[in-house]
Amino acid sequence: MADFYGAQDAGEIVIGGSMSALTFHISRSISHNFRPGDEIILTNFDHEGNVSPWLHVAHDKGLVVRWAEVNRDTWRIEPESVAALISDKTRLLALGYASNFMGAVNNVAEIVALTREAGVLSYVDAVQYAPHGPVDVGSVGCDFLVSSAYKFFGPHLGVLWGRRDLLESLPAYKCRCSPEQLPWRFETGTSAIEQQAGLTAAVDYFAWLGGKLGTQGSRREQIVEAFRASQDYEAELSTPLLEGLLKLPNVDVFGPRPGAEANGVERVPTVSFRHSSLSPDHIARALAELQIFVWQGHNYAYEMAKSLGIEAEGGVRIGLAHYNTVAEVERTLAALNKLLS
């Protein structure tokens, strides 16, 4: 996982049950010296896994929560909206890398640079980004980053990276006699070693793919190459999908449009939409009858769904990955055309 995250030091990798479980666990350590009246910045871009743990911390510690809001033109958190919230009381920013609802990718490096300058800790949720692009903790520049292995074709585990100095100095909520060394001070109880074997295999898969694409370099270089190729391929899938959805009558599509990259706005191939009268549940079931599997609801992007006024029903989400094909995108669009026109 150090290779997967571009980390220099494998001791900085902490493995846990899931992203949400790890975040609930370590948020207690991160916030141990936060004081009443201190502030934390959360966003309406984020999945609940990077919101609820911090809301609990805020409640327990008497912290003030400041909310950064998604810009409706770019569908991401713009650096200015975070900059405007930073004060001398700010202790932490919790920020999503990519949205699991509208697919927008935040410019995390630029936003995290602002918090670093202000001495504010940053906790990045890379769950939705990690299956689609190369994570590089060095260039992101954050203090903590977490993802979830089942999203990148591995087993159900969460994986956290944190700066060694922080992981060593934070108090660990652990058994008295369990080791003080990293990563075990944060890996409480007996590790799921059979799952971890699966995790290694998932990382090896990306290295294998990079090797197949001709990269002879290190495991890290092969992983990065696999993701570069995957990003190009996934763009060939998401562009026709978006173009097709945007042509459907009475459909609202959430997230960056084709061509947004020209303005520096990136996306992963995760696309959500709503129809003016047919419910997301109805549409998802009708597609399932045709063996086309999509998801529906707010998908735990609960704050975003609330901001859009659709928290009750959410949207239909089509989540592509590098194993999908243009033919599948065409078949999905043809089915939607028939259903919605």
Cα separation, 325 vs 75, in Å, equals 26
Cα separation, 190 vs 177, in Å, equals 13
Cα separation, 88 vs 90, in Å, equals 6
Binding site for ligand PLP (CB under 6 A): 18-20, 47, 49-50, 96, 100, 125, 127-128, 148, 158, 300
Q: Which is nearer to ligand PLP, 69 or 221 (CB)?
A: 69
CB of 258 to ligand PLP, least distance (A): 22
CB of 213 to ligand PLP, least distance (A): 27
- Three-state SS for 62-86 is CCEEEEECCECCCCECCHHHHHCCC
Q: Which is nearer to ligand PLP, 198 or 240 (CB)?
A: 198
Q: Which is nearer to ligand PLP, 306 or 338 (CB)?
A: 306
CB of 49 to ligand PLP, least distance (A): 3
Main-chain phi, psi angles of 318, to 5 degrees: -105, 115
Amino acid 106 reads N
Cα separation, 4 vs 7, in Å, equals 8
Beta bridge partners of 124: 95, 145
CB of 21 to ligand PLP, least distance (A): 6
Q: Which is nearer to ligand PLP, 104 or 265 (CB)?
A: 104
Q: Which is nearer to ligand PLP, 25 or 91 (CB)?
A: 25
CB of 208 to ligand PLP, least distance (A): 24
Which tokens belong to 57?
Answer: 């911390």
Q: Which one, of 258, 271, 285, lies nearest residue 319 by Cα?
A: 271
